[in-house]
Copies of this chain bind each other. A is one copy, B any other.
Amino acid sequence: MARTQGAQTANAIAEVAASLFNEHGYEATSLRQIASEVGIQVGSLYNHIDGKNELLHNIMVGILDDLLDAIRNATAAGTDPVSRLVLALDCHIRFHALRSRDVFIGNSELRSLPPENRADVINRRDAYEEILRDLVSDVVHATGADPLDVRLQTYAILAIGTHVSSWYRPDGDMSLDDVVAGYTRVILRQLGIEEFGMRVGITTA
């Protein structure tokens, strides 16, 4: 056993760690549990990681990098502010629903990261928030809508994403398409641009 198993084992460790962190929390998960579910001994973990904390750090930075990539790619296809926002909301909600495990870890385990590693996460989180705020801001300027309060509106969108990741289940009684369409309507209306949404294919049926 050598040379070829490395990548697979490393992958399995990361997956198992994420599942256990999600289920019991970082502090309540032991390396012995992780090793046991992977099917190796505790000591062997250290052939693949530097320590327990690296597992958490990788998950948190990874999920935020993926989220930033996703929203940038999603909005690139938009031809005007409203369609860019609609594309962003689609991405935002789907991402949080489908990757709820890692999103939840990212949102709940910041305090388990040693302070020197927190900036990596906080900077990415701030960057995402800024992207959303700019999208909202652009829509407001382009449409002349009254946004009430851009900051609170942006927070509301962020909150919906986080919340979706905590209740949405693929086998629940609401399809992901319905969740996306429903929340998109709600958000466009709360921004005061319900009628602009219709022009890009969002209906209030």
Contacts and interface: CB of A to CB of B under 8 A. Distances in A.
A27 interface: yes
Interface string A65-106: 000000000000000000000000000000000000000000
A23 B111 contact: yes
Contacts of A158: 163
A148 B186 contact: yes
23 contacts: A25-B25, A25-B27, A27-B27, A28-B111, A146-B204, A148-B186, A148-B204, A149-B185, A151-B174, A152-B183, A153-B186, A155-B160, A155-B164, A155-B167, A156-B156, A156-B163, A156-B183, A156-B186, A162-B163, A187-B190, A189-B189, A189-B192, A190-B190
